Amino acid sequence: MKDYHTHHIRPCGGSLCSVTPDDWERVAAAEGMTPCFGVHPWHAHAVQEPAEFAFELDEWLCRYPTAEVGETGLDASERHKPTLETQRLLLHLHLGAAFRHERLVHLHGVHAWAELLGILKERARCNTLPRVLLHAWNGSHEMAREFLALGAVFSVGYRELSHPRAVERYARIPAERLFPESDDRPELWPQTLALFRLLRADK
């Protein structure tokens, strides 16, 4: 099974997400992985010139026709709240690029699933919604249903799968829309897969 969202080169293959533009060269060169170009919301402050960034992202997506977009998203936790305005601007740039280039976009959402849902719904209304993957998904059923209606897929890792309410949270998401991820913990991949399979066997 491939790793649907990771920041490490993985023997099983998968989507290798960058965290800043300085990381794009590395992910593009990784053999056997799908490179993902983006700026993680934790590094929003690293982008000085958003317009320049948008041009660069376009260029890299043209150059790598099978690449995906990410990691991007919103993080409204205390620590990252101060950059929320920049995060929002960057998120829109990523979503626009993903839509134009018809790529999947990897979304991070901490204390921000509701806002993300609103943004995606608005894009759906305007017919500018790209395919999205919600990584480390831990939202409610009600919200999952709304994201599913927008065509979203989800990935979950060890932290989410070992949560006491994991079965209740994930069992109702259709199998073809829920995937395993290692994110920043590749060493936990065997345990992640074991928990992921248990969840599926439970159905």
In the sheet that holds 104-110, the strands lie side by side as: 3-6, 14-17, 33-37, 68-75, 104-110, 131-135, 153-156, 178-180
- If one asks whether residue 75 binds Zn ion (CB under 5 A), the answer comes out as no
User: For residues 77 and 128, which CB has a smaller minimum distance to Zn ion in the complex?
Assistant: 77
Q: How far apart are CA 144 and CA 139, in angstroms?
A: 7
Query: Closest approach of Cβ 177 to Zn ion, in Å?
Result: 19
Cβ pair 143, 118 in contact under 8 A: no
Token representation of residue 186: 């590749």
Does residue number 181 form part of the binding site for Zn ion (CB under 5 A)?
no
Quick one: 106 or 123, whose CB is closer to Zn ion? 106
Q: Which residue is nearest to Zn ion (CB)?
A: 183
Among 104, 183, 192, 195, binds Zn ion (CB under 5 A): 183
Q: How far is the CB of 125 from Zn ion (least distance, A)?
A: 28
127-146 positions binding Zn ion, by CB under 5 A: none
Q: What is the contact surface with Zn ion in residues (CB under 5 A)?
A: 71, 183
